[in-house]
Structure 1
Amino acid sequence: MPRASLTRALRLLSGKRIVDVALPLSTRPSRETRYLVSDPYLRFWLSFLGPYLPEIERGRGDLTLARIRSSWTSWRGRAIEPVVRESLRRLPSGPLPAETAVMGGYWTRTKDPEIDFVGADRTPVAKRITFVGSVKWLENRPFDTHDLGRLAVHRAQLPGADERTPLIAVARSGRLVEGVTLLGPEDLLTARRD
């Protein structure tokens, strides 16, 4: 497909809210645009079912199910990010720095670093980064020293962030380390109730 046609198609899908368009949030401009299918059910279909319909039709749904089971934790971690981001936006003042006006993520072409959540004073190019965050949505593994170390390294690579930029972790199973503000499932539900 020619580039102009692809650009036109993505613009149309974005206008109809079928595809979300995102740019990395930092104090430097970027052209590393990401396109994400908006509907989580459609994302699931496109990832696990649609490409494997011939397999399912041949009576080998067991292969599809095995693929889903082996990839589920990783897929779910990505799928929960928009839900968590929206819950963070709805939080009453307190856990997030007061000057946070927008939230996004940060990535480079090589995906190193790739940061789940970045808070800032404005978008698309921030004047000030207000926090850096990570989501760990695992049943039996809390946010630990390895996760904190990785988040701190990524913060150091984020344009506009430094060692004073607060770190926030959203974890399903708690934390084993200090030095990070922790938000759990109850915090996210509270944000959704208000």
Structure 2
Amino acid sequence: MATDFVGRRVELEVLRTRLRRVAASGRGVAMAIRGRRQVGKSRLVQEFCDSAQLPYLYFTATKGMSVVESLDAFLAELRRSGIASDPAVVPDAVGGWPDAFRVLATVLGDRQAVVVIDELPWLAEQDDVFDGALQTAWDRLLQQSPVLLLLLGSDIHMMERLTAYDRPFYGRADNLVLHPLNPAEVGRALGLDAAASIDAHLITGGLPGILRSWEHGLAPLEFMRSECGDPSAPVFGVPESTLLAEFPAPDQSRRVFEAIGGGERTHAAIASTAGSRSGALPSGTLSPLLQRLSVDKPILSTDTPLSTKPGKPALYRVADSNLRLYLAALRSVQDLVRRGRSQAAYDLFARRWTAWRGKAVEPLVRDALEVAALSGSLPWKDVAAVGSWWNRAFNPEIDLIGADRAPVAERVVFAGSIKWIGTPFDRHDLHELTHGAVAVPGFEPKRTALVVVSLTAPEPAVADTVDLIWGPTDVLAVWQ
């Protein structure tokens, strides 16, 4: 299993920098750490606390607890933490969070320490005055002590409950958004080669909460075969719990999100699928929902055609690949697993996997090419954006467009195709690319370069024709 702590070098250094700031100034520093569930927030902070060699308090709130129970648990953890030189000075009970924070400030004194409050949004749900009590305690008491205060919570709740401009703690904490592990980190954690590392990243979304159940060195399809024997496996449970947390009621937002997860990409198709018996969702209803899901949350990604002219329509996709896979296939697979039909469940997954992977890998490849371009690793120094292109008829669709800027380029530097299946990129694929690319505004035959990204090595005739060929090793190397 992937149990060792992997990656997060940048994030650990961010925390260590804040701790050095505390040591230099003798004053408190607060940081809000947010990210989706199972992304590894708690594990990161525990690793940091273990390496800091300082006394620390790590308090995790429990959803559904009463205020009194949470206060009792906080005081008990404070007594056990080692921050208090004499645990007996910590009372058994207090009247509320203002009193609890005063106790914490008294115990801290002038000792350098780390204080962690995990699942902070649940405390705010229990007590309407919690946010204000935290802000008052920080301004008047805790900030005067050499303490690093780390506040953890899910992305959406932290945005709404803590860091929004109209909330009491706004402007008092630095913000760290914890993203999933990248494909190279996933590969190192699991001991897989480049192609399998990318597959594992697509299946898990780079979430440590799923990777922990993956046996070291196990091939992706074999991992899924083993998971199909367990209806409670994290590969099913994590996305299921995310859906329940983000959409607790089956409202219009949930229908829109599931329509996109089911494969609908355009505004019109989403409106039709997410509508009701009375018809498609009106644009005045759908557009704000898409804005909320792609900007405010954000759990959707929006793609627009990249060329030298503005293009339409915009396309929508579920941002997280594990959640996207769950909606497209794993939920149906899980239903079979729950009914004890493990082999049928695996067969269903295997049938859907190849086609799904071929499309799901495209955003990952574009990200890799853009990172490589910005770092100067591509043959063309003026590439600043990598996207794709399509017209209103979706004929043709060009997988890769490299340009000098986005969303409207001055120059298209390259056009390309992605083929992520088991057969080589051949002359037929090359013919489709060269004939389709001429429709892209800004494409100039014999001047605009051609790029091929393929799971397997292209045919020799193709290799002699195009300007750049990437395989799985090249994609993964971007994150090494």
Give the TM-score normalised by the residue count of structure 1: 0.89
User: Which residue of the partner structure matches residue 13 of structure 1?
Assistant: 293
> 1:55 & 1:109 partners in 2: Cα distance?
38
Corresponding position: 1:98 with 2:384: no
Contact 2:403–2:411, Cα closer than 8 Å, also in 1 = yes
Q: 2:432 aligns with which of 140, 150, 160?
A: 150
Gap runs ≥5 in structure 2: 1-280
Matches within 5 A, 1:1-194: 1-15=281-295, 16-50=297-331, 57-59=338-340, 63-91=344-372, 92-139=375-422, 141-163=423-445, 164-176=447-459, 177=462, 178-180=464-466, 181-193=468-480
**Larger deviation: 173-182 or 6-15?**
173-182
Aligned residues: 192
> Partners in 1 of 2:377 and 2:338 — Cα distance?
52
Write out per-residue CA displacement over residues 2-60 of structure 1, whole angstroms, 9 at most, x where no aligned residue: 22111111100111220001111111212311011001011111111336766665555
1:191 aligned partner, one-letter code: V
8 Å contact 1:48–1:64 — kept in the other structure? Answer: no
1:189/1:7 Cα in 2 relative to 1: closer, same or farther (>3 Å)?
Answer: same
Q: Is the 8 A contact 1:136 1:170 kept in 2?
A: yes
Aligned mates of 1:50, 1:109 — CA distance in 2 = 31
Q: Which structure shows the bigger proportion of residues in helix conformation?
A: 2
Greater relative contact order (Cα 8 A, min sep 6): structure 1 or 2? 1
2:402 is paired with a residue whose SS is: strand
Deviations along 1:116-138, one digit per CA (max 9) or x if unpaired, are 11011111111110100111122
Output the aligned Cα RMSD.
Answer: 2.0
Partner of residue 95, structure 2: none
8 Å contact 2:312–2:392 — kept in the other structure? no
Q: Give the aligned residue type for 2:476.
A: L
Q: Say whether the 8 Å CA contact 1:118–1:133 is kept in structure 2.
A: yes
What runs of 5+ residues in structure 1 fail to find an aligned partner? none
- Point out the more displaced range, 30-39 or 59-68: 59-68
- The more displaced of 161-170 and 43-52 is 43-52
* Residues 59-80 of structure 1, C-alpha deviations (whole Å, 9 max, x = no match): 5565554333222211101111
SS in structure 1 of the partner of residue 370 of structure 2? helix
**Secondary structure of residue in 2 paired with 1:186:** helix
Instruction: Say which SS state the counterpart of residue 133 (structure 1) adopts.
Output: strand
Amino acid in the other structure paired with 1:144: D
Q: 1:167 & 1:184 partners in 2: Cα distance?
A: 15
Decide whether the 8 Å contact of 1:23 with 1:33 is kept in 2. Answer: yes
CA contact (8 A) 1:132 1:167 kept: yes
Q: 1:120-169 CA deviation, whole Å, 9 max, x = no partner?
A: 11111111101001111223x22211111111011111111021210001
Aligned partners of 2:329 and 2:352 also within 8 Å: no
SS of equivalent residue, structure 2 residue 430: helix
The code of the aligned residue for 1:22 comes to D
Shift of 1:184: 1.4
SS in 1 for 2:302: strand
- Between the two proteins, what is the percent identity of the paired residues? 38
Distance 2:313 2:333 in 1: 30
2 CA distance for matches of 1:54 and 1:188?
A: 34
Counterparts in 2 of 1:57 and 1:94: CA distance versus 1, 3 Å: closer
- Looking at structure 2, the residues matched to 76 and 19 of structure 1 have their Cα atoms a distance apart, in angstroms, of 18
Quote the Cα distance in structure 2 between the aligned partners of 1:88 and 1:168.
Answer: 10
Structure ranking higher in strand proportion: 1
Deviation at 1:99, TM superposition (A): 1.0
Pick closer, same or farther for the CA change 1:146–1:103 going to 2, 3 Å.
same
Per the TM alignment, residue 115 of structure 1 is displaced from its structure 2 partner at its CA by 0.9
Aligned residue type for 1:187: D
- Tell me the SS of whatever aligns to 1:21: strand
- SS of the aligned residue for 2:317 comes to strand
Counterpart residue identity of residue 188, structure 1: V
The worse-fitting range, judged by mean Cα deviation, of 18-27 and 130-139 is: 130-139
